[in-house]
Amino acid sequence: MRYYLGLDNGGTSTKAALFDTEGRQIGVEAAATDAITPAPGFVERDMDDMWQDNCRVIRALLEKTGINSRKIAGIGLCGHGKGLYLWGKDEQPVRRGILSADNRAWKYQMDWRTDGTEKAAFALSCQHVMACQPVALLAWLRDHEPGVLENIKWVFACKDYVRFRLTGEARAEVTDYSGSGLMNLHTKSFDPALLKLFGIEAIASALPPLCNSLEIAGRITAEAAQATGLAEGTPVIGGMFDIDACALAVNVTDEEHICMIAGTWSINEYIRREPVTDGRVLMNSLFCLPEYYLIEESSPTSAGNNEWFIQQLLPELVQEAKAQSKSIYALMNQWAEEFSAADFMPIFLPFLTASNVDPRARAAFIGLNASHSRKHMLRAVYEGIAFSHRHHLEKLLDTRDGHPCRIRLAGGAARSPVWTRIFADVMNCPVETVTADETGALGCSVAVATALGDYATPTKAAAAMCRLSAPIYPDPEAAKAYDKKYNLYQKAIQCLDDLWPDMQAYIEDGD
C-alpha cells in the first residue's frame, strides 16, 4: 500500500494528514499555531517554532497511524498565501514570519492606489495590491526595519519555507508567488519592473528559482528525516497555495463550479483559461492546473472571527467541553440551530483583523439589545461571515457568463451542517462539501498522486480521490430573508464609511 502525506500550514493551525491512493484519510495530526501580535494590525510567528510544529505533527501522525515512513510515496505541502517568511544570509530566519492576517502595510496599499502605482502594477501582475502581500510588507520593512532587506538570502511564502527546511532546496512555487505581486502573469516570471514600481529592487537576487505545483522540487534530507521521522530521499513536490489545494480537493477542475473556503480567510474562487484583466476582481494568479488561472476574491474576514468568539466569549464553555471530552463546535452549532433565517440578529461585521471594504475598518456588532444573548451573537457571527463571502461572490459572478452549478465549500464552515445551510441560503445556490476533514492536505495528496504517475492527470486524480456530499439546496423563504439581512449588512458598512479614517487617526496618534 502506498500513502501520500499532505502538510497544511494555515493561519491558525499546522496539520499533517495521510491519504491512500483512493483518497481515504488514514489519519491526521494538528497543532495550534501560536500567533504573535506585538502591535495592532501585526500578526507574526516564530519561524523556528513553525518548523518544529511541522516536525511534531509529522512524528505524531506516524506514531498514531503506525505506518512505516518508507510506505509514504511522496509529500505535498500547502500553506496560507500572502504574508512573508525571510531566510537570512547567516542561514537563520531574518526575523519572525508575517502571516496573511497582518495589516501593518495598509497605508502602502492606499498610497499606491492613489498615486497610480497599483494601476501600473496591475498591467503586469493582474492584481490589486493587498496590505498583506509580500510587495507591501517588503516596502514596510524597507522603511521601518533598516538593514533587513540587505540580510535576505531567500524570500519565501509560507509552505515554500517549510519545503526548504525539509529538502534544503530553495524554490518559489508558482501558485503562491503569482499572488505575491512580484510576478508578471503574462510572462509567468518575476519582473524587475514590478520591483522597481514598489521600490524593492534590493531583493531581486533573493527570489528563488520558480517551480510548478506538480513537479518534484526536492527530497527529504538526512537532517529533516531525523527531525520528522520521514524516510530520507522521499520526494517532495512543489505543492501549492492552500486555496488551490482546497479547490483541487473539492474537485474544482473545470469552470462550472465556484469554490468557497471559510477558514481564517474568506476565499472565493473559480478557474478560467484567461485572467480577468479589467480590474473587476481582486486577484488573478496561476492555478495548479497549468492551463488555468485562478480568479480570486478574498479577505481575512471568515472563520477566524469565529475562533476569536470562542476564545473571548466562551472561555468557560471551552473548559467544560474539554473536561467532558466534548466539542465546543458541536455546542455552538446547537446554539445556532435554535434560530431561523427570519429571526433578527445583530449585524456582525467580521473585520477583526482586516476588512474587504476599507483597510481601516473594524469589527462590530450592530443592533444589540438587552434581549440578546451569546447565542444571538454567535448566530450573528455565522451570518456575518457568510455575508462577507457573498460580498466577494457577487464580484466573481459579475465576471462570469452564468450562475455556478454548485458552490463547493471547504474550511471550518463546511464541517457544520447549520453553517453550510446558512451559506446555501445566503448565496441562494446549492452547496456541496467533501467527506474528508482536511481538504488542504487532500488537495496536496491529489497533486502528489499525479506527480508520481499514479494518475495520468490531476483531473483524473481528483475525480477518483475526492468524495462530495449530497448538495444542500437553498430554501426559497430563507433566501428571501437573507436578501433583506444582507441589504442591512451593506447599509451598516456604508453608514460607517466616514468613521474609519477618524478612528485610525486616533489609534495612531490620539488626535
Residues 6+ apart with CB under 8 A from 29: 15, 16, 17, 57, 58, 60, 61, 64
Sign of CA dihedral 251, 424, 101, 127: positive
The ranges assigned to domains in the chain are 3-241, 244-300+404-465, 303-391+476-509
CATH for the 303-391+476-509 domain, from 3.30.420.40, 3.30.70.1290, 3.10.20.30, 3.40.50.800? 3.30.420.40
Domains 3-241 and 303-391+476-509 share a fold: yes
Give the SS3 label for residue 372: coil
Give the CATH H-level superfamily of domain 3-241.
ATPase, nucleotide binding domain (3.30.420.40)
pLDDT value at residue 401: 83
What is the greatest pairwise CA distance in the chain?
A: 66
Contact 392, 268 (CB under 8 A): yes
Distance between terminal CA atoms of the chain? Answer: 66
**DSSP conformation class of 469:** P
pLDDT value at residue 510: 64
Q: What DSSP assignment string belongs to 44-71?
A: EE-HHHHHHHHHHHHHHHHHHH---GGG
pLDDT in tens, the chain (511 residues): 899 999 999 988 999 999 999 999 999 999 988 899 999 889 999 999 999 999 999 999 999 999 999 999 999 999 999 999 999 999 999 999 999 989 999 999 999 999 999 999 999 999 999 999 999 999 999 999 999 999 999 999 999 999 999 999 999 999 999 999 999 999 999 999 999 999 999 999 999 999 999 999 999 999 999 999 999 999 999 999 999 999 999 999 999 999 999 988 899 999 999 999 999 999 999 999 999 999 999 999 999 899 999 999 999 999 999 999 999 999 999 999 999 999 999 999 999 988 999 999 999 999 999 999 999 999 999 999 999 999 999 999 999 987 777 999 998 899 999 999 999 999 999 999 988 889 999 999 999 999 999 999 999 999 999 999 999 999 999 999 999 999 999 999 999 999 999 999 998 886 5
pLDDT value at residue 32: 87
Q: Class assignment of domain 244-300+404-465?
A: alpha beta
